[in-house]
Amino acid sequence: MNVAIVAEYNPFHNGHLYHINKTKELTRASNIIAVMSGNFVQRGEPAFADKVTRTKMALKNGVDMVIELPVEYATGSADLFAFGAVDILNKSGIVDALSFGSELGEITPFSDVADILNNEPAEFKRIMMSLLETGVSYPAARAGAIKEYLDIDTQFLNSPNNILALEYIRALKSTASSIWPYTVKRKGDYSDEELAGEFVSAAAIRKALLNGEDDRVVEYIPKSVADIIENLSYIPTIDDYSASLHYIMRSCPVNRLSEIEDVTEGLENRIHNNISDKKITELINIIKTKRYTYTKLQRAILHIILNLRKCDIDRRGVGYIRVLGFRKSKENLLAELTHKASVPVITNVKAAPGLLEKEIRATDLYYMIINGDIGREYTNPIVIED
């Protein structure tokens, strides 16, 4: 039984460890395969540590193999993120189940909602249209229509992990996947702000690390992770790319930015007219609205910086499977993957630079902040842990 987990491990913490252990207990998995975002994450910012470092954290704490979620999916909106991950798992040919955390802790409600959203029955569409005509936003109209059509409380769809869970289920259904879903109920309330309780969120840990409060973090992360964090030289943030955004907004005809993924409805002009010499976080706080949330804007700005255009995202799915690392005792798993995958399996970027062009550029931009070298995507070795 090979069970997959989709993760960012940004950083790996006790909640992740609990999820892995609970997954093994629930599914009696023989192997845990993580699909992990690379150097940039779904909030639209650089990961706190590079993907090699985060792969090590995973392999030291119960994961047997780490596969990379390519940057255009890893930094995408929730539906694109989930679709990319599920598509990779489908194409791997070796995954039996997908285990994800959720605040809800059961599959059926997600499944019911996913069916409606994927199939859009006429009555559901009619309700949604009439709600839209009252002037509410698209997400609000959608939630209202689900509530009325299914006659259920849709409050649960506001929680961050439930949102992703729904998207995994939708992706499994829309790709007619043979992979079974499992969900592990999240423990604690995972405040983004506070370091308190049994588990805390990765965001709270990042915040403490950025404030230099490493000591306060140790009780929420495995010892092996703390040891790795201790050796990090710098934690990059989106503001480290402010000068790059200034350059882009002054060198590039502004209308060309509408080609960029997630740049819609004249967002390029709002950025152009407000950026001046501001930091990116300052800019976002000025231009954010109810409709254009902080994260949505950060994601769009990251795509501008990474030059990820709408046409760069292949809606048919991922064209390769890139292994970031595996446990030495699980070499057979790599062999099985290579044998059964329906797309090329990449363990050495040098062998397939064309396929990974977007990844190579993203990695060069990641190391621009923390290290001078260009070409690290070629020279960083695959991670093999005992």
Residue 365 binds to a second copy (criterion: CB under 8 A): yes
Q: Which residues inside 312-351 make contact with a second copy, applying CB under 8 A?
A: none
Query: What does the per-residue mask of binding to a second copy show for 236-275, with x meaning CB under 8 A?
Result: -------xx-xxxxxxxx------------------xx-x
Q: Are strands 321-327 and 65-69 parallel, antiparallel or unpaired?
A: antiparallel
To a second copy, the closest distance from the beta carbon of 259 in angstroms equals 14
Q: Toward a second copy, which CB reaches closer, 293 or 371?
A: 371
To a second copy, the closest distance from the beta carbon of 260 in angstroms equals 12
Q: Are strands 65-69 and 97-102 parallel, antiparallel or unpaired?
A: unpaired
Query: What does the per-residue mask of binding to a second copy show for 278-317, with x meaning CB under 8 A?
Result: x--------------------------xxx----------
Residue 233 binds to a second copy (criterion: CB under 8 A): no
| Spatial distance between the Cα atoms of 299 and 308, rounded to a whole number of angstroms | 11
Helix axes of 242-251 and 280-287: crossing angle, nearest 10 degrees = 70
Q: Which of 130, 129, 131, 151 is nearest to 140 (CA)?
A: 131
Residue 1 binds to a second copy (criterion: CB under 8 A): no
Q: Are strands 45-46 and 180-185 parallel, antiparallel or unpaired?
A: unpaired
To a second copy, the closest distance from the beta carbon of 272 in angstroms equals 7
Q: Which stretch, 84-92, 145-153, 221-229, 369-377, contacts a second copy (CB under 8 A)?
A: 369-377
**Judged by CB under 8 A, how many residues of this single chain contact a second copy?**
27
Identity (one letter) of the amino acid at 336?
E
| Spatial distance between the Cα atoms of 182 and 306, rounded to a whole number of angstroms | 34
Q: Toward a second copy, which CB reaches closer, 20 or 306?
A: 306
| Spatial distance between the Cα atoms of 247 and 259, rounded to a whole number of angstroms | 18
Q: Toward a second copy, which CB reaches closer, 208 or 284?
A: 284
Q: Which of 261, 43, 67 is nearest to 164 (CA)?
A: 43
Which residues, in sequence order, are CB contacts of 336 under 8 Å at separation 6+?
94
∠ CA 159-161-166, nearest 5°, is: 95
Q: Looking at 368, 380, 382, 384, which residue binds a second copy (CB under 8 A)?
A: 368
| Spatial distance between the Cα atoms of 380 and 376, rounded to a whole number of angstroms | 6
Chain residues binding a second copy by CB under 8 A are 243-244, 246-253, 272-273, 275-278, 305-307, 357, 361, 364-365, 368, 372-374
